[in-house]
Amino acid sequence: MEWIDHAIWWQVYPLGFCGAPFREEDPAPAPRMRKLLAWLDYAIELGASGLLLGPVFASQTHGYDTTDQFRIDPRLGGEETFEALVSACKKRGLRILLDGVFSHVGAQHPGVVRALQEGKEDPAAELFDIDWTSGRPVPRVFEGHSSLVRLNHAGEQAANYTVAVMKHWLERGIDGWRLDAAYSISPDFWARVLPVVRADYPDAWFLGEVIHGDYSKFVAESSVDSVTQYELWKAIWSSIRDRNLFELDWALKRHNEFLANFTPHTFVGNHDVTRIASVIGADGAVSAVAILLTLGGVPSIYYGDEQGFIGIKEECLGGDDAIRPGMPDDPSLLAPWGENIYRAHQELIGLRRRHPWLVTAASEMSELDNTRCVYRAISKDRVHQLTVEISLVNKPAVVILDAAGQVLWQQY
């Protein structure tokens, strides 16, 4: 699957991006996903090679409480709307990764409702993790959320269901799957499912959402291709915010260990975390993406981060709204104040594309104190290298040099 070595994702949360209503009783169906069509050339101009899409399937509210993963959410459109997006992406050479929620479903999923009404003899009941031993059936839920009912991953129905959903959309032209909350499912479930899908779609890429734990072990036992590198995400922004580059050094040593076993998915922002510019400001955000794009991994840019968007995640109803905003109808309507940050992203992505070996590059720290460090990004065959100098003495700043010491890019 050579294409993934050149992938740079532009991550989009479609329900938010397209302005779909989240909490209305009966939201009006509309082909809102067509808004994305006006942004595809923008993604290419940014330097992205694919869209990493958040949930697009029928759901109760935010997309992760699915009610039918074989159907496009009516708030976004129908299958024709999705086909138009796939077609437009293919014409431009853009890959598509879909977000698959195979840990749980929404409590209003028709199968859950029917199983609870008809009992464990219902043919679909085995798909869900329901406690039948008490006086009444009690669904087991995902991380305490009563609206999210777990699938029964020990049974065959959950495996068959996951395979069927994956193949359904791969047949319709997507290139792989982000596996939501993959960490919450035993790796042997994925090890049963993914080889069956790969038998028909050998070029598909599978990214598991894993937050803590032994990433390499999870990859080896589950057979996913990659996992979300949250350790590096945290170290990049935290080391800049706290003026403590020793934290970055520790994370880079860990990152090298992961790169020896698989190619992690790297990022400084996504749909679940406070915007990077809200944490460390615009200068810090540019420094963060400069670090991101000079390290090994398959990187993604979260929509709006390339414009310096701000937004704070809160633990309350609607607490994700600020980090999942609607976008204008087309890029020409963006405010001009994000232009410099956008340009920096373009330049850094361009630099990475001119040095494709960076996808598997290891890093070696040569100078280090709290507010200044220098590391080298070195190709797997040790033929190529870049030097990255980070200074936090005044405002955050990064300089990138080639092997001869010539400046390739610097932060102003």
Q: What is the DSSP string of 138-164?
A: EE-EETTEEEEEEB-TTSHHHHHHHHH
185: its two tokens: 């499912």
* pLDDT confidence of residue 258: 98
Q: What is the pLDDT along the chain (412 residues), one digit of tens a residue?
A: 799 999 999 999 999 999 999 888 778 999 999 999 999 999 999 999 999 999 999 999 999 999 999 999 999 999 999 999 999 999 999 999 999 999 999 999 999 999 999 998 998 899 999 999 988 999 999 999 999 999 999 999 999 999 999 999 999 999 999 999 999 999 999 999 999 999 999 999 999 999 999 999 999 999 999 999 999 999 999 999 999 999 999 999 999 999 999 999 999 999 999 999 999 999 999 999 999 999 999 999 999 999 999 999 999 988 999 999 999 999 999 999 999 999 999 999 999 999 999 999 999 999 999 999 999 999 999 999 999 999 999 999 999 999 999 999 999 7
**In 3D, which of 18, 30, 100 has the Cα closest to residue 63?**
100
* pLDDT confidence of residue 23: 82
Look up tokens 């609206």; give the residue.
Answer: 147
The strand ranges marked E within 19-159 are 50-53, 57-59, 66-72, 95-100, 104-106, 130-131, 138-139, 141-142, 145-150
* pLDDT confidence of residue 24: 80
* pLDDT confidence of residue 26: 78
Instruction: In whole angstroms, give the CA distance from residue 376 to residue 364.
Output: 5
Q: Are 58 and 74 in contact (CB under 8 A)?
A: yes
Q: Are 411 and 397 in contact (CB under 8 A)?
A: yes
Q: Are 227 and 218 in contact (CB under 8 A)?
A: yes
Instruction: In whole angstroms, give the CA distance from residue 105 to residue 161.
Output: 12
* pLDDT confidence of residue 184: 98
Q: Can you name the residues that pair with 407 across neighbouring β-strands? A: 401
* pLDDT confidence of residue 317: 85
Give the CA diameter of the chain. Answer: 74
The strand ranges marked E within 217-297 are 226-227, 265-266
